[in-house]
Amino acid sequence: MGGSRDEPAAALARIGDGEPVPEMSRFTEWTMIDGDLVCRYVWHNLPDPTGGTARYTLPGTEILRRLGDGDRFETVGEFRNGDDADAMTARWRAAGGAVAGADGGELRGIVGWAPEPMPRAADRAEVERALAEFAARLAAAPVHGDWAPVAALFTDEVRVRDHVVGFAEGRHALHAYILDGVRRSPFARYRVGLRLVDGNRVALLLHAEGSRGGLDVNVVLHYAGEGRWSYVEVVYNPQEIPRGSA
């Protein structure tokens, strides 16, 4: 597995609603750069307090925008499951917590968590046309109450990973996942905002909107050719979903 280690940073050590965890380390599995936008896939790791091989790890993404021509960036959004973050740090503390000299810096991501995009990159214009079609169908689906046209844009063997719901495989499973999500969701509109294209990997910022408020979601797609997508990963924090009455 490729990627690079990021040194722990106090500003990035707080991944849930609890106290900061200085022992947290970061491993960047991949980085996309498209113009002034950057998207990174980051694993947040804690060392096993017992010295064993138990994993305390949480994946997430972040989108940054470069400011000017230098090395200054602003954060557009950070996306990770806050419930899982809180549960992970609670398990880690219950197992013993901090151990002197252990920072988890040697830890990486989970092998097999996500497939790699096709190695031969499609023409960017083709990917952007497919992305425009995806955005159009996503916007139209709640209006017409028909999500089948969205699912039809994915391959028969599509893999689906939702950082809250879990993993599914196959277009029929994807369609069922969409319908279940729509049924449970407080949102009525879905709009694709900024997007990054890097070869066959696309990262986009999806704005889900409803009467109670909105939610920003980072969606990662792998383009498979002929206008279809072979992988979709949906990254968001369930703690940010609007609650209560409209």
pLDDT of 245 reads 40
Beta bridge partners of 43: 27, 59
Provide the percentage of residues in the chain whose pLDDT is more than 90: 82
Q: Rounded to an integer, what distance in angstroms lies between the CA atom of residue 60 and that of residue 81? A: 8
Predicted TM-score (pTM) of this structure: 0.90
Q: Rounded to an integer, what distance in angstroms lies between the CA atom of residue 246 and that of residue 33? A: 39
Which range is least confidently modeled, 11-25, 176-190, 221-235?
11-25
How many other CB atoms are there within 10 angstroms of residue 228's CB atom?
16
User: What CATH number should be reported for the domain whose range is 124-240?
Assistant: 3.10.450.50
Tens of pLDDT, residue by residue over 184-236, are 999 999 999 999 999 999 999 999 999 999 999 999 999 999 999 999 999 99
Q: Tokens 């097999």 identify what position?
A: 112
**Domain residue limits, the chain:** 4-94, 124-240
Q: What is the mean pLDDT of the chain?
A: 90
pLDDT of 11 reads 35
Kindly provide the b/e burial profile for residues 26-65, where b requires at least 16 CB atoms within 10 angstroms of the residue's own CB.
bbbbbebeeeebbbbbbbbbbbbbeeeeeebbbbbbbbbe
pLDDT of 234 reads 98
Distances (CA, A) of 187 to 150, 163, 195, 207, 246: 17, 18, 21, 10, 11
Tens of pLDDT, residue by residue over 99-113, are 766 667 789 999 999
